[in-house]
Structure 1
Amino acid sequence: MKFFLYNFILILLLPLIISRLIIRSLKDRDYIKNISNRFGIYENETESNPVWFHAVSLGEVISSETLIKKILIDNKVVLSVSTPTGYRQAEKIFGNSLQIVYAPWDIYFFVNNFLKKFNPKALIIFETEIWPSMIKASSAKKIPIFLTNARLSQESNSKYSNIKFFVKEVVELFTLVLAQTNKHYDRFVSLGIDKDKIKIVGSIKFDKDNKIEKKESSVRDPNLIIATSTHSGEEEIISKVFKKLAFIDKSLKFILVPRHPERADSIGTIFKNEGTDCMILEDIPSSFDSNKILILKGIGFLDKLYKSASLAFVGGSMLKDYGGHNVIEASANGCPFIVGPYMKNFEDVISLFLEEEACIQIENSDELYDSCKKLIFDEELRQNMVDNAYKVVENNRGSMEKQYNYLKEYLN
């Protein structure tokens, strides 16, 4: 009855869900690309008994890369995503080595259509996606279900606990939960998952292929400051900080990379209305003028930018709506970084960096300005942060192999 009501409510909401997708497509046409996938309709030629791997968006696709490539050695994979940025990044990373599709909306017969089409031998969900119909329909077909690199923020745990009478019936269907830390282990147990089904394995995000770039071995622009993965409401703060920094040092250059590229034009309007000189580009230029802000419209730039910049602010962390983004890519590329106060999605990771004085966490725009100013003029502090970040990354590698070793018992 609970699952029936859940699906009935989603069906009633379907016109709103479709309308929201169409509105989003006004900024990014790819939101309605392959829209039939959302209803569980796929034209693809299918491989027999692939592993279904679900990575919801851009960050999850990037973070799961090493695990997916490991699984591909002995298995066919169909990778489902929910956003255009995730889809495009998956195409960049994997090309034709696997099938990439949009995940069906979480209505039972849409999911069932997917299962009939692909007949997967396992479902692997990355990080925090707990979709009742996806899990229930897969379990009904005796498909093993894994939650990998699993994390559950305190906020999410509180919300799920309010409907535990429903959630417990979903999460107890997991075959195995590979949790990042003891804290997440405890939260999953509190939702009703059997302790024997949960293994603590660390975070796969430390296992990205790139090694940390030492400052002396990389070509850095000492005047380049970047703001990455920014969200609505943060650009106004960054614009003011950049303007104040440019006033004290005329040689500084700034690049901003919004989390969602389709927002680049509206961000440019914000900056121009505030009298900030900016330019929107779709690629990183070989050079550009000092005291100018570049807004990059696209994805796939961060690795190169973190190798080039002397300082980064990692967005999604100034406003509580977002919960932060992955800081490991900055640290692995030897770029000292600053984050805001809201890092609930990376609470354990950011704690490791803070304990080793490997980053700076600020509370507001004034502290962001003060910290940027301090780092600009203190090369020794920047290098100490880089060295400390190197230790954090190196000391926490190895999760991917742990997770794969648990999975392969079921997959092979």
Structure 2
Amino acid sequence: MMYLYNLLLPLAALIGLPYYAVRMFVTGKYRKSLGPKLGYYADENVFSCLQGSPRIWVHAVSVGEVTAAAPVVAELRSRYPGACIVLSTSTETGQEMAGRLISQATELIYYPLDLPFVVAGMLKRVQPDIFVPTETELWPNFLSQCRKRGIRVVLVNGRISPRSFRRYGRTRFFWKGLLAGLDGLGMISETDARRVLALGALPEKVQVLGNTKYDSLASRTSAPLQEEIARKLDIRPGSPVFVAGSTHEGEEAVCLSVYRRLLEFDPEFKLILVPRHIERGSAVAELVRQAGFQDVIRVSEIDGGRKRVGERIVLVDVIGELFKVYSLATIVYCGGSLVPRGGQNILEAAAWGKVVFYGPSMEDFEGEKALLEEAGAGISVADEEELRERMLSLLADPEMLRRRGEQGRLAIAANAGAARRHADLIGDSLEGR
């Protein structure tokens, strides 16, 4: 099967090359990461500075996984002060977020493309004692090379969405051997554990340890962070703000329509739009203007020195601001859910004590959805009309809005501690237990 995989991999790369070449030329995306993903680093000192023991390689694909990895890396650094901890990401946005969130890492690198010669070269340079992927990011050649070299592999914050489960299930015969070769699998929930067992993981290696994002969020909320973003966007404390976070194509139009109705409820309402993919910034700005709102300012413009002067709509077209922006919200819609995208992370807003609205497509965040709905801080809606009416109903009762948001915040705080448990799993593997 590995022979067949390596036969098909270059063919798939060849087919996908024109698409990525166009994206790179048009948007600039992948330009920074392509060389490192192929094993080319202009500055080889990146690897010469890797000193210390044990040598731990943690991998987090993009922004969401970086958030999950951050408290685990912090816990590992506390336990192993002299360790060499390398953190890799697959995306440039993930790399930028890691630079902001994970100061405890010895070095940040890009995860190599799953080509045997590239993987072998990177493992030779990093020389990890253990490899720690987050959220079920598993690549066959990388795992195979780790096994050949005696490098332990422990999965942390493991999750398998329904879509991923269906996809993996079609090729279970292939994944069974790879999963059986892992030294430990720390899964978020019982559901994730059942799914990974059904795909072939060995029962004695699977543990349910919780979601490390609870730890990350509980530790990141702070008054200074809120004050920082309020100053940057020139939004006064207590101002009514509708935050539409992680929106996908088709959702901004819905949020603009709902916002128009919120302005009738309170003319002082502001709207902060945060598209899931920042490269859509120009398209979303044009959509805002077409909807009849000319007073819009982009955060990239603010970063460039422009001041917000009364614009009612702020468009966040840079990474790393969403979590802070949620602190300003009166009410929140979290995207990827009124369109069939499986949802986005609803915990970030809830960690600030905000009630979060979302659509029916939340397959990738079932546990988070259940937690917030049980606390009364998560509200599922079927469409634009229900979103508008339920938001207005809750806004009409400020005390209820505050109380439900606080219940969500407390529910997240009560679930902290997963990072310690995942770090225990890594430590046990390092010590051969």
Partner of 1:242: 259
1:121-170 CA distance string (max 9 Å, x none): 11101012122222122112111111101111222212211111111111
Distance 1:332 1:69, change over 3 A: same
Q: How many residues matched?
A: 407
Q: Which residue of structure 2 lines up, in the alignment, with residue 279 of structure 1?
A: 297
What is the Cα deviation at residue 272 of structure 1?
Answer: 1.8
Shift of 1:30: 4.9
**Could you tell me how far apart the structure 2 residues matched to 1:342 and 1:362 are?**
10
SS in structure 1 of the partner of residue 57 of structure 2: strand
After the TM superposition, which residues 331-342 of structure 1 pair with which residues of structure 2 at under 5 Å, given as runs?
Answer: 331-342=350-361
Report the identity percentage: 27
Give the equivalent residue in structure 1 for 2:390.
371
Partners of 1:91 and 1:136 in 2: how far apart? 29
Q: Distance in 2 between matches of 1:397 and 1:61?
A: 17
Give the 3-state SS of the residue equivalent to 1:352 in structure 2. Answer: helix
Alignment of 1:58-73 (within 5 A): 58-73=63-78
Do the aligned partners of 1:22 and 1:32 also contact (CA within 8 Å) in 2?
A: no
Q: 1:93 to 1:213 in 2, by over 3 A?
A: closer
Specify the alignment match of 2:275 in structure 1: 258
- Aligned equivalent of 1:387: 406
Judge conservation of contact 1:229–1:316 (CA < 8 Å) in 2.
yes
Matched, 1:197 2:205: yes
| C-alpha distance after superposition, 1:173-199 (max 9, x if no partner) | 111000111111111111111110001
1:41 correspondence with 2:40: yes
User: Could you tell me how far apart the structure 1 residues matched to 2:121 and 2:221 are?
Assistant: 44
Q: 1:212·1:332 contact (CA, 8 Å) conserved in 2? A: yes
Report the Cα offset of residue 97 of structure 1. Answer: 4.1
Using the size of structure 1 for normalisation, the TM-score is 0.92
Q: Select the residue among 85, 89, 98 that pairs with 1:77.
A: 85
Deviation for aligned residue 1:13: 2.0
Letter in 1 for 2:321: F
Q: Which amino acid aligns with 1:252?
A: F
1:22 matched to 2:31 = no
Query: 1:148 maps to what in 2?
Result: 156
SS in 1 for 2:390: helix
> For residues 173 and 237 of structure 1, do their structure 2 counterparts lie closer, same or farther at Cα, with a shift above 3 Å needed?
same
Displacement of 1:25 in angstroms is: 2.8
Mapped contact 1:178–1:200 kept (Cα < 8 A): yes
Secondary structure of the residue aligned to 2:244 is strand
Once the two structures are superposed, residues 20-55 of structure 1 have per-residue CA deviations (whole angstroms, 9 ceiling, x without a partner) of 333333454352114222223343234156311110
String of CA shifts for 1:325-364, please: whole Å, max 9, x gaps: 2222211112221112111221111111112212211111
Q: CA deviation at 1:256?
A: 0.7
* 1:250-269 superposed Cα distances (whole Å, 9 cap, x missing partner): 21111111122221111111
Looking at structure 1, the residues matched to 307 and 287 of structure 2 have their Cα atoms a distance apart, in angstroms, of 25
Give the conservation status (yes or no) of the 8 Å contact 1:80–1:100.
yes
Stretch of structure 1 that moved more, 144-153 or 44-53: 44-53
Question: Which moves more between the two structures, 203-212 or 66-75?
Answer: 203-212
Whether the aligned pair in 1 keeps the contact of 2:239 and 2:268 (CA below 8 Å) is no
| 2:59 pairs with one of 54, 57, 61 | 54
Q: Tell me how far apart the structure 1 counterparts of residues 237 and 222 of structure 2 sit (CA, whole Å).
A: 10
State how 1:152-167 maps to structure 2 within 5 Å.
152-167=160-175
Return the match for 2:136 from 128, 134, 152. 128
Q: Does 1:297 align with 2:317?
A: yes
| Alpha carbons 2:33, 2:91 under 8 Å: kept | no
**Contact 2:394 2:401 survives alignment (8 Å):** yes
Q: Contact 1:243–1:276 at 8 Å: present in 2 too?
A: no
CA distance in 2, matches of 1:308, 1:120: 42
Q: Structure 2 vs 1, CA of residues 227 and 288 (structure 1 numbering), >3 Å: closer, same or farther?
A: farther
2:215 is aligned to 207
Give the CA deviation at 1:59.
1.1
SS of equivalent to 1:251 = coil
Cα shift at 1:227: 0.8
| Corresponding position of 2:190 | 182
Which AA in structure 2 matches 1:53?
Answer: V
3-state SS of the aligned residue for 1:106? coil
Which one-letter code corresponds to 2:282 in the other structure?
D
Deviates more, 1:234-243 or 1:122-131: 234-243
CA positional deviation for 1:380: 1.9
Distance 2:339 2:346 in 1: 16
Q: Using the alignment, how far apart are the partners of 1:246 and 1:185 within structure 2? A: 46
Q: Distance in 1 between matches of 2:298 and 2:91?
A: 23
The Cα RMSD (Å) is: 2.3
Distance 1:212 1:88 in 2: 20
Who is 2:285 aligned against? 268
CA distance in 2, matches of 1:397, 1:286: 38
Shift of 1:221: 2.7
Q: Is the 8 Å Cα contact of residues 187 and 193 (structure 2) preserved in structure 1?
A: yes
Q: Write the letter of the residue equivalent to 2:364.
A: N
**Whole-angstrom distance in 2 between the partners of 1:181 and 1:17:** 35
TM-score, length basis structure 2: 0.87
Asked if structure 2 preserves the Cα contact closer than 8 Å seen for 1:253 and 1:289, the reply is no
Amino acid aligned to 1:86: G
